[in-house]
Amino acid sequence: MTSRHDHYTPQPYDPYADDDFTWFNSDGQSAAVPQGQQGQQGQQGQQGYGYDEQYHAYQQQHEQYADAVPQQPVGQHEDQPTYALRTVRYQQVPDEPEYHIPQTPDAGWDDRPSRRRAWVSRGVLVVLMAIQAVLSLRLSNTAFQDEALYLAAGHNIIDHWTNSTPLHSGYESYFSGSPMLYPVAAALVDGYFGLSGARLLSLLCMLGATGLLYSFTRRMFNERVALVAAAMFAVTQPTIVLGWFATYDAPAIFLLALSAWIVVRTNRAPAIAVLLAAPVMVLAVAVKYASALYVPTLVVLAALTAWHHKGWRCLLRAFLLGLGTAALVGVGLMYTDVLAGVQQTTTNRAHGTDSAASLLQKSAEWGGLMFATAVAGAAAYALRGRMNESPRSYGLNGPGWRWRVLLGLVLTGTAVLAPAYQIHLSTAVSLYKHLDFGLLFAAPMAGVGVIRLVGKHFRYPQLGILIWVAALCLGVSQSEWRFGLWPDSTPLVKAIEPYMKPEARYLGATYEVPVYYLRDKTNHSQWTSTYGIGYSDEKGKIHHGREGYRLAIEAGYFDLVVLDGVATPDLDKYLEQQVTKSGHYRMVGTISFELSGGGTGSYKIWTKTS
């Protein structure tokens, strides 16, 4: 056993007794006793008190100077009184000990950029982007009407360029972006890799947007805010859906993010450098006209981000950007014929019947959490500008409050543009897609909001986690719901394929989908949609609306009728009655499908037999 006293002996209290190192030992060395001694101690018995160890350390330290301190000869003069000082040989004793105590930093971490921090943040960003990619990739369905339309149009245009096949005219008049840009690019990818390839292009765009969002938010605030902004943006429904959706939106968002990045990145460069963003912005607008709604935000951002470096000259930067963009847009309008399309699809878009309340509700469901966080962030940022704990930070209180308020207003306010415009138009069409454009700009403020909620030194990380997980859950469920809103067209395409003949005429609800999948066998001009008809009877009189459909069916004008009851349910019922009444048609089959949210329906296909 040990030689420990059997009875308790009170000892002076030593708070550092359990520490591995002590305050006494400030040379940075471990205060642990050398091995030999430790062993000795062990043999002696387990002294429970570090005091002894400290003593050893002290003794050890003291012994270092043994040679330097002259010692009285021992033995000779012991116990004898002395009356004279003996002279001893002088030896130099160092003024300073050879060890030194490092200066204690006033903060445990450094707020200056470092390679390590950059790489750690990028690593986290990669994880976020991986999550975003997985969320998008798990969605699956056949092509949506719009995807099919754009891709088929792209193929048509490419064929026209390469083989001089007839161009199905009129794309300019109803496409919400230039038919020559995205549709052609996507169709090119589609030609090699199919729909998945085209959708992958969108995924790359959305991942790129997340990356750029991180980058420009980091420059405006810091890594933490940037990561949270990217994390929030990456898991919202629109981002997830647009990442696997072959439409204009993903590239347009990417280009807007790229413009924002250029604007923020060039804030210290000469004002002229901001012009680099102009062509990118114009390209974004050309790819999707609705992007123009976000040009003012970028122009204001150009001024705000340069304020600290240029003062009032930052206005020149904004002016240059505005001028450059306007000039390029002017040139574009002069040499292309897109104005009609812009009016039709964007500025004069058909007014719907959706109420403001329902639109607000939808906006809140799909982007509300992020917007609320952004509002909170903007408010918190306006109240206090300091963005980190380090007492050595440059500009502890951040920029002035006016600037902060302005930045918060611009970024958060941008998120309101799309819902406001759609409420003006009373239409919910594509609302979720347009929300994402605004959320891209509100994301930095949402990042600030979450970081402020988490607090200094990550005091309440659970709040940040709570918000992100809530956003993730909403994003996952909503994106899946969104991808189930249209029927899987695979069996339909199979069923009607034998009926695709060069001269045949077809009536089809959402015919864009079969036209895309069966583009080798049919083309747009053979199809009439359920959105409108101009049927010319034997006498050459043109009939529109229900009358037009009725007469056409009665005359057996269509060789195939395909209805799904989704887009125009009332008309579809009417058409079904007419098809049955006419006696010319025989049912090829009904293919039932299930939609997300419990909806069911069926494709009904008739062919003319007499």
Where does this chain bind other proteins (CB under 8 A)? Answer: 116, 119-120, 123, 126-127, 130, 133-134, 137-138, 140, 142, 193-196, 199-200, 489-491, 493-495, 497-498, 517, 579-592, 602, 607, 609-610
Residues facing residue 542 across a β-bridge: 536
Read off the tokens for 108.
């445990």
Read off the tokens for 584.
């010319």
Q: How far is the CB of 150 from other proteins (least distance, A)?
A: 16
Q: How far is the CB of 580 from other proteins (least distance, A)?
A: 5
Instruction: Give which of 200, 201, 233 is closest to 216, Cα–Cα.
Output: 233
58 contacts 52 by C-beta, under 8 angstroms = no
DSSP character string of 454-488: H-GGGS-HHHHHHHHHHHHHHHHHHHHHHHTSS--
Q: How far is the CB of 230 from other proteins (least distance, A)?
A: 16
Instruction: Give which of 281, 280, 286 is closest to 335, Cα–Cα.
Output: 286
Q: Residue 137 phi/psi, 5° resolution?
A: -70, -20
Nearer to other proteins, 120 or 473 (CB): 120
Nearer to other proteins, 207 or 262 (CB): 207
Cα–Cα dist 201/190, whole Å: 10
Q: How far is CA 110 from CA 113, 217, 389, 394, in A?
A: 8, 19, 10, 11
Q: How far is the CB of 143 from other proteins (least distance, A)?
A: 8
Cα–Cα dist 353/342, whole Å: 21
228 contacts 463 by C-beta, under 8 angstroms = no
Nearer to other proteins, 493 or 571 (CB): 493
Nearer to other proteins, 129 or 445 (CB): 129
Nearer to other proteins, 116 or 539 (CB): 116
Nearer to other proteins, 437 or 603 (CB): 603
Place of tokens 């207003």: 409
Cα–Cα dist 173/510, whole Å: 18
Q: How far is the CB of 586 from other proteins (least distance, A)?
A: 6
Q: How far is the CB of 145 from other proteins (least distance, A)?
A: 16
Alpha helices in 35-138 (DSSP H): 35-44, 50-64, 115-137
Q: How far is the CB of 550 from other proteins (least distance, A)?
A: 15
Q: How far is the CB of 498 from other proteins (least distance, A)?
A: 7
What letter represents residue 395's amino acid? G
Nearer to other proteins, 127 or 555 (CB): 127
Q: Which helix (H) or strand (E) holds 536?
A: strand 534-536
Q: Which helix (H) or strand (E) holds 587?
A: strand 585-594
Nearer to other proteins, 168 or 521 (CB): 521
